[in-house]
Amino acid sequence: MTAVLQVSGLRKAFGGITAVDGVSFEVREGEILGIIGPNGSGKSTLFNCVLGQLLPSSGEIRVDGRRTTGMRPCDLNRLGVSRTFQLLQVFPQLTVRDNLILAGQEHQGTMWSRLCGRADAGLGEAVDRMIAFFNLSHLAAEPAGNLSYGQQKLLDVALAFMAGPRLVLLDEPAGGVNPTMLAHLRERLQAYHAERKATFVVIEHQMEFVMALCTRVLVLAEGRIIAEGSPHDVRCDPIVIEAYLGH
């Protein structure tokens, strides 16, 4: 299998603190990789480096073999790398529909064609399908800010999927979501994964969610990878248990 994402020797230091310390891993096509670790272990910094939000101190990132270190988030996204954020990030005053059109419109045409072309950028049908996929059809014309937290979370994920990305990085998708909604979200993620053969990387605290969703898990502690394997193996690894519970 080919690697969609290759991270090698990634290091990020903030002054004297090294948040990510020489991390290397690969994400293979079609897998759902979980990244877990205690608070402050460098998961989010790792994500932000991969996604161009932060410039790594050293190391290299490749997407489909192409070097992307230091690339701007918008250019990375147009290469097919999409993400969700730890905290909700939708556009509250835009309707659900407009949120989704926005998520797709920059992936086609030029600045000029977007000015002169159709208001929905020709994405009407694709948006309807995505809205239906996440059971949000009855809310399509509603400003996103009027949705419940769980519905906004679904919309957030839908935004990340809208442009048909090659790789999706999900930052704590289960955070603050109630169990019913969480089961629904997981089921939708799995359905999308099965349908599109998409590749996911998931940062998550909620162990059950990770166990149920991920095919492989990396464990990060103090900026380093301390364990890797199937969800079950990782859970039983004494090093992992120690990292979580302390010395």
Partner 1 sequence: MSRPAALVLVVAAGLAVVAPFWLKPFGVYQLSMWAVLTIAAIGLNLTLGYAGQVSLAQGAFVGIGAYTVALLTLAGCPFALAFVAAGTLCFVIGWVLGYPALRVQHHYLAFVTLAFTTLVFLVLRNEEWLTGGTYGINGILRPSFFGFSTAKPVSFYFFCLSVLTVLSLATWWMLRSPWGRAFLALRENPIRAASLGLDTRRYTLMAFAIGSSLGGLSGALYAPLVQFIEPGSFALGLSFNVLLMVIVGGSGYFLGPFVGALVAVLLPEWMRVAQGYYLIIYAALVMVLMALCPSGILGLVERAANALSGTRKATPALDPKGVEP
Q: Which of residues 188-227 bind partner 1 (CB under 8 A)?
A: none
The stretch among 16-24, 26-34, 94-102, 212-220 that binds partner 1 (CB under 8 A) is 94-102
- Which of 28, 184, 224, 235 lies at the binding interface for partner 1 (CB under 8 A)? 184
**What is the C-alpha separation between 180 and 228, in angstroms, rounded?**
30
**What is the C-alpha separation between 34 and 48, in angstroms, rounded?**
16
**What is the C-alpha separation between 189 and 50, in angstroms, rounded?**
21
For residue 99, count CB atoms less than 10 angstroms from its CB and return exposed for 0-12, middle for 13-18, buried for 19 or more.
buried
Single-letter residue type at 88 = L
> E strands, the chain, where?
3-14, 17-28, 32-36, 58-63, 66-67, 81-84, 167-171, 199-203, 216-221, 224-229
**What is the C-alpha separation between 193 and 191, in angstroms, rounded?**
5
155 is an interface residue for partner 1 by CB under 8 A = no
Q: Which of residues 72-91 bind partner 1 (CB under 8 A)?
A: 72-74, 77-78, 82-83, 85, 89-91
Whose Cβ is closer to partner 1: residue 9's or residue 176's? 176
Whose Cβ is closer to partner 1: residue 94's or residue 207's? 94
230 is an interface residue for partner 1 by CB under 8 A = no
Instruction: Report how far Cα 48 is from the mean position of its chain's Cα atoms.
Output: 11
- Which of 119, 179, 236, 247 lies at the binding interface for partner 1 (CB under 8 A)? 119
Whose Cβ is closer to partner 1: residue 74's or residue 245's? 74
**What is the C-alpha separation between 81 and 4, in angstroms, rounded?**
10
Sign of CA dihedral 72, 47, 25, 27: negative
How many residues sit close enough to partner 1 to count as binding (CB under 8 A)? Answer: 46
Task: Convert residues 36-75 into a mask of x (bound to partner 1 by CB under 8 A) and - (unbound).
Answer: ---------------x-x------------------xxx-
- Which of 12, 105, 189, 221 lies at the binding interface for partner 1 (CB under 8 A)? 105
- Using CB under 8 A, list all residues that contact partner 1: 51, 53, 72-74, 77-78, 82-83, 85, 89-94, 98, 101-103, 105-107, 111, 114-117, 119, 121, 135, 138-139, 142, 146-148, 150-151, 159, 162-163, 180-181, 184, 187
